[in-house]
Amino acid sequence: MSEVATKGSHPKGLWVLFGTEMWERFNFYGMRAILTLFMVNSLLIKEADAAIIYGGFLALCYLTPLLGGFISDKYIGNRYSIMLGGTLMAIGQFLLFISASTFDSSLGGAKLFMWIALFIIIFGNGFFKPNISSMVGSLYPKQEKNKLDSAFTIFYMGINIGAFLGQFICPWVGDVKDAETGVRDIFAFKWGFLAASIAMIIGTITFFLLKNKYVVTPEGRPIGGLPKNNDANDFEEGETQTAQFKGSSIGIAFVVFGVLFFVFRYILVGEFGFSSVEMGQLIKGIIYPFIYSAGISLAYLIMSSAETKIERQRIWVIYIVSFFIIFFWAAFEQAGSSLTFIADNQTDRNIFGWNMPPSMVQIFNGVFVVMMALPFSLLWDKLRAAGKEPVSPMKQAFGLAFIALSYFIIAHNVKDLGNSGLLAIKWLMLLYFIQTLGELCLSPIGLSLVGKLAPKRFASLLYGVFFISNAAGYALAGSLGAILPATGDKYLAAQEQGISLQEVLDKKHDPSAKELFVLAQYNLADIDKEKLDANKVDLKKVIDQNNKMISEIKKKDKNAKIKPEQLVYPSDSDLEKIKSEKIISVEHKKFAGFEIHNLYEFFMVFVILCGIAALILALLSPRLKKMMHGIQ
């Protein structure tokens, strides 16, 4: 006998998917919490580059669901996709464990392991993410689709219980600082990655063991099996059961993609060619244009397969809402990059005598979601019963408004902080609380909206399309995170080397060639790779030699201070070129042509972007409601 829901309750399969997603999010958010700090402190990657890599990685994690959704809808089904994705992510996390275990003996090898690991995680997430979300929608018969907002909010609570556990345990074991000196143990990150791998193994096994008993339709038929076994009862009357795309439509979509790719590439990096080999430029110039172009070209492809005007308009609603929430994720995903760096460099993290690891500060988001998810679910149910429930796009406009408010408050609290003052952790806690309110208005509602509006024959693909908005938002998050101005510890690091970073930034002190090299050695200055290659200056060899020396000293005494005279410097001729050709520079970051001098200006960028997006989406909501044709 099948295990189905009783009337008025949620099916038991929801709790199986809840648990599976919980362990997967433990794995993903736990890794995310320590990833950028690992890159900066162990792999010696610059903060700006780490932000770009982080944004590109997350963006690809939410682009590959297009591929995973397509393969699932067309060939292997949700169940096999989830197990394949979970297995790949567990392997990827274990490779990060290897990377964090080998960087001290082979920095190049450790970086290679990191790239392979991220590549595998990206594809694992692509198979896992859209298919588990699609299965939640499939648990409910057509007459109970009004339960989806509530169901996805409960499902979202599972996501954030996992996020809470991952953001607590992985930093606890992986981001370790000496209690007296505050010096980070750069060899501990591996344990955080190992914990993430184990969590993903648990989640995959949980799904494998329970799927046949609980993840079934009310009639007891398996959900998410092979597409060829789909039952006509699962579809709307007259709806095609398999996705059909014309060859001509696919060809046109590829042409549109190719043209847009080079247009976006030129906008982002100022060239059509591929002359740069610098990692940040490669990510901005290849991954980001790929994401933006894929989203637009797929709009044409999917629209070409729509069978009715109503179906086409409902798909348009998904696309329009997806565009606006790009700005939400661009602001929200500062958590893993700029907000983590601020927590690390310029925040007083003392809580009742305990100094919280900076990577753990993100945990407040998961805590608040767990606290608020059920009240939000009950709120939507109560408003629905009273006939006062806002339409889904308006809920998402509220989400954008909340995140704009969160950054507005913290912007004014850092306005007079300077480069040595510390931000009280309560303000980051408040920021995460307000952002959580916004997240609950936006993310689970968006997932539910796709479940209600998407034709079933390519529901997983449309979930993949919806996740493109996440991908585009994360790509934008990487670009915006890279404009984070210098914060507290950077000034102290420069001061230890006898350099006033503030005077250099304000053009009050003209640094010598040796001072510029020292700033570059400690990732406090930018190296122009094109000028470097044109002048045949080999800084990498010298910097790597210094890094090896610093690593050996830190192994013996992690509190040791490295003095400028201990460093190896480039030749006098190379130093002269560094100065005269401006190969190394120290400048304020820029956004849209404006210099970002301090944290206040940095945070106000998000206030403006999200505030404008919230206003426009709210004004469009009545029109979008009509295009939804009776779906709330």
Residues above pLDDT 90, as percent of the chain: 27
For residue 197, give the amino acid letter. S
The answer for residues whose C-beta is within 8 angstroms of residue 438's C-beta and 6 or more apart is: 328, 332, 398, 399, 400, 401, 402, 403, 406
What the block records as the tokens of 316 is 């348009």
In this prediction, residue 6 has a pLDDT band, given cuts at 50, 70 and 90, of very low
Q: How many CB atoms lie within 10 A of CB 590?
A: 10
pLDDT at 143 over 50: yes
pLDDT at 1 over 60: no
For residue 14, give the amino acid letter. L
Between 554 and 278, residue with greater pLDDT: 554
Asked if residues 485 and 419 have their Cβ atoms less than 8 Å apart, the reply is no
pLDDT at 124 over 90: yes
Q: Which pLDDT tens digit goes with each residue over 411-459?
A: 999 888 876 788 999 999 999 999 999 998 988 788 778 878 877 766 6
Q: Output b/e per residue, 482-506; b: 16+ Cβ within 10 A.
A: bbbbbbbebbebbeebebebbebbe
pLDDT at site 436: 92
Phi-psi category of residue 280: left, alpha or beta, with phi > 0 → left and psi -120 to 50 → alpha:
alpha
Q: Which pLDDT tens digit goes with each residue over 310-354?
A: 888 888 888 888 889 899 999 998 988 889 888 888 889 888 888
**Nearest residue to 391 via CA among 149, 38, 30:** 149
pLDDT at site 180: 67
Domain ranges of the chain: 12-229+305-485+600-627, 490-587
pLDDT at 305 over 80: no
Between 131 and 577, residue with greater pLDDT: 577
The CATH superfamily of 12-229+305-485+600-627 is: MFS general substrate transporter like domains (1.20.1250.20)
pLDDT at site 99: 95
pLDDT at 238 over 70: no
Q: What does 586-605 look like in DSSP terms, one character per residue?
A: ---EEETTEEE-SHHHHHHH
pLDDT at site 4: 44
C-alpha to C-alpha distance for 401 and 438, rounded to whole angstroms: 7
**Nearest residue to 33 via CA among 177, 171, 165, 191:** 171
Residues above pLDDT 70, as percent of the chain: 89
Q: Which pLDDT tens digit goes with each residue over 527-572?
A: 887 788 888 888 888 888 888 888 788 777 777 788 888 899 999 9
Q: Which pLDDT tens digit goes with each residue over 461-516?
A: 677 677 778 888 888 888 888 888 887 778 888 888 889 988 888 888 999 999 99
Give the single-character DSSP code of 415. Answer: T
